[in-house]
Chains A and B, each alone.
Chain A
Amino acid sequence: MSEPTTLGSELTRALLERLTALGDDELVLGHRDSEWTGHAPILEEDIAIANVAQDEIGHAVLWYGLVEQLGGPDPDRLAFFRDADEYRNAALVDRPRGDWAFTMARQFLFDAYEAELLPRLERSSYAPVADAAAKVRREELFHLRHSALWLERLAHGTDESRRRLTAALDELLPLLPGLLAPLPGDAALAAAGVYPEAAELADAVLARVGAALEAAGLARPTLEPPADAAGADRRQRPDGVLAALLAEMQSVARSDPQAEGW
């Protein structure tokens, strides 16, 4: 197992970018999920979605914590004092929460991605990543069960639920490659065994998603693996959706320069 000091400056830079992207995906998705707290279709789902939101935000804290260990800013600094153009989340997670079908379909896609990502990260040559992945994986198992059950319920519920689920997937599936695409430094990380190889991970996720949709009686989508350049999506913020999310999220934290903390 490598120690942080043995990464070298190029790998450290690449890992910082990757850890930031991992944390940003979790934070932004957790934030969107948390918007349901108090507004879910049944009280039991208020409880469940609040649980998922806490877990995702908790995972962001873990990934951001590794950034800090490598000499980056602390987690609150990362979350509350970067602008949209400095965030590295995929567009999939920052889209507005939509209806329950949209939220559950998005959660399912993200859970399916993590179900493939995390076991691979547990084998990372960089021990802190492997340890963090082991912690995250235990919770993600429950998320996948929850969102997969909703996929099944909505697919085999009423005509309306199926129509809404299909519409949500039509909107979300084109964004999946953006989640899977490698960042510029990922190839070097993969060569060092720190992070999984992008194409192999993408194939596994797409196969898992395709099989699950087929099992739910939905058309198996034609899922293209991401183009190499798709990772650049994480830097492009064409529509202001993320900026609006951050403006709200960071409003109190940035409101008082004299405050020593909250």
Chain B
Amino acid sequence: MTVTDRDPLAHEDPRRLAEFEARIAAGEKIEPGDWMPSEYRRQLIRMISQHAHSEWVGMLPEGAWITAAPSLRRKLILIAKVQDEAGHGQYLYHAAETLGATREEMVDALLEGRAKYSSVFNYPTLTWADVGMIGWLVDGAAIKNQVMLAGCSYGPYSRAMVRICAEETFHHKQGQEMVRRYAAGSPAQRRMAQDALDRWWWPAMMMLGPHDSDSPNTPLLKRWGVKVKTNDEVRQEFLDEHAPELLEAGLSIPDPELRFDEATGHWVHGPIDWDEFWRVVKGDGPMNAERLAARRQAHEEGRWVREAMAAHAARAASATGAVPA
């Protein structure tokens, strides 16, 4: 397809499209070999690869604290967590490959700045408490989104989400346990926990995506069962769960307009700074340049290793091939 298509479905065979949509309406999963509209494929590659990049880039902010984790237990937990993120990235890149994308293309798109990843990883981790706050808020928000995506119509993505959510739930609990402990700890620990919440609250709220009115892909993605809820619906779920828990931990949420609405049974938040969100998404967040630079550096420094692997594998293959069966 071409990007200039006004209607991305105009060139699709109406009969096949109708059959495809009937399968989705019946709650069937679409699998890699099945017929699908090219726009469905394109949107899924976009979403899954962005998700994979988010895991890969998301290793950096927390990974920076591995070498300073303050107890052996915390050190082990944090390495395991960042390792899980690598595993999720690997799993998601594979899910995108089932749609015809290659890891190389996806990685190049990220390193050349053509692909997006979650805006939240473009904020700095300034203190150790940020590691806990990321676990509680960022993983908490990610779980809300991923639980929704576990119901996605594309089989491999849906299954990846089921598996990933199980691990994210551990991360969320670990983060929560850590922040609660510091919020009830020494004066310096309490200050550290509050400062982390002050800096991570709004980025976590924003990471669930633009307001529904600014999310042009959402209607089509809902029609095809890729997303089963809108960004604002998922954000509301995140808010309803986390606002009371943070307050109960003795922390203050940096939103003067935050209140519980007895009538609806939901929490209501103040205005989100969407200008900041779009700045960060478009590359001007506090850490965009550093994150990409770190990924590029690891990629460049690993190039000779990947070349050696390939050369060794080729040699081993030709040696095997040379021996008659």
Judged by a CB distance under 8 angstroms, whether A42 is at the interface is yes
Min Cβ gap B223→A in Å is 33
Considering only residues 151-172 of chain A, those with a C-beta below 8 Å from chain B are: 152-154, 156-158, 160-161, 164
Closest residue on chain A to residue B82 by CB atoms? A37
Closest residue on chain A to residue B93 by CB atoms? A43
Instruction: For B128, give its contact among A161, A164, A252 (CB under 8 Å).
Output: A252
Chain A interface mostly: helix
Min Cβ gap A31→B in Å is 7
CA distance A157 to B308 in the complex (A): 4
Q: Give the number of chain B interface residues (Cβ < 8 Å).
A: 45
What residues of B have a CB within 8 angstroms of the CB of A39 in the complex?
A: 63, 294, 297-298, 301
Judged by a CB distance under 8 angstroms, whether B66 is at the interface is yes
Judged by a CB distance under 8 angstroms, whether A260 is at the interface is yes
What residues of B have a CB within 8 angstroms of the CB of A64 in the complex?
A: 72
Contact B71 A157 (CB under 8 A): no
Judged by a CB distance under 8 angstroms, whether A141 is at the interface is no
Contact B71 A46 (CB under 8 A): no
CA distance A251 to B79 in the complex (A): 18
Contact A252 B79 (CB under 8 A): no
Judged by a CB distance under 8 angstroms, whether B69 is at the interface is yes
Chain B interface mostly: helix
Min Cβ gap A250→B in Å is 8
Contact B79 A53 (CB under 8 A): yes
Contact A256 B66 (CB under 8 A): no
Judged by a CB distance under 8 angstroms, whether B306 is at the interface is yes
Instruction: For B307, give its contact among A156, A158, A253, A259 (CB under 8 Å).
Output: A158
What residues of A have a CB within 8 angstroms of the CB of B72 in the complex?
A: 27, 57, 60-61, 64, 75-76, 79
Contact A38 B69 (CB under 8 A): no
| Bitwise interface map of A from 75 to 117 toward B, beta carbon under 8 Å scored 1, else 0 | 1100110000000000000000001100000000000000000
Judged by a CB distance under 8 angstroms, whether B98 is at the interface is no
Closest residue on chain A to residue B75 by CB atoms? A57
Instruction: For B83, give its contact among A35, A37, A252 (CB under 8 Å).
Output: A37
| Bitwise interface map of A from 46 to 66 toward B, beta carbon under 8 Å scored 1, else 0 | 110011011001101100100
Contact B59 A37 (CB under 8 A): yes
Contact A160 B308 (CB under 8 A): yes
Judged by a CB distance under 8 angstroms, whether B162 is at the interface is no
Contact B76 A57 (CB under 8 A): yes
CA distance A249 to B128 in the complex (A): 12
Instruction: For A38, give its contact among B63, B93, B188 (CB under 8 Å).
Output: B63
What residues of B have a CB within 8 angstroms of the CB of A248 in the complex?
A: 67-68
Closest residue on chain A to residue B185 by CB atoms? A259
| Bitwise interface map of B from 287 to 305 toward A, beta carbon under 8 Å scored 1, else 0 | 0000000100110011111
Contact A161 B315 (CB under 8 A): no
| Bitwise interface map of B from 116 to 134 toward A, beta carbon under 8 Å scored 1, else 0 | 0000000000001000000
What residues of B have a CB within 8 angstroms of the CB of A157 in the complex?
A: 307-309, 311-312
5 A-B pairs within 8 Å (CB atoms) are namely: A35-B66, A153-B309, A158-B304, A252-B68, A252-B70
14 other A-B residue contacts (CB within 8 Å) besides A153-B308, A154-B308, A253-B70 = A37-B82, A38-B86, A41-B298, A42-B309, A46-B59, A50-B80, A54-B80, A61-B76, A64-B72, A154-B305, A161-B305, A249-B68, A252-B69, A253-B71
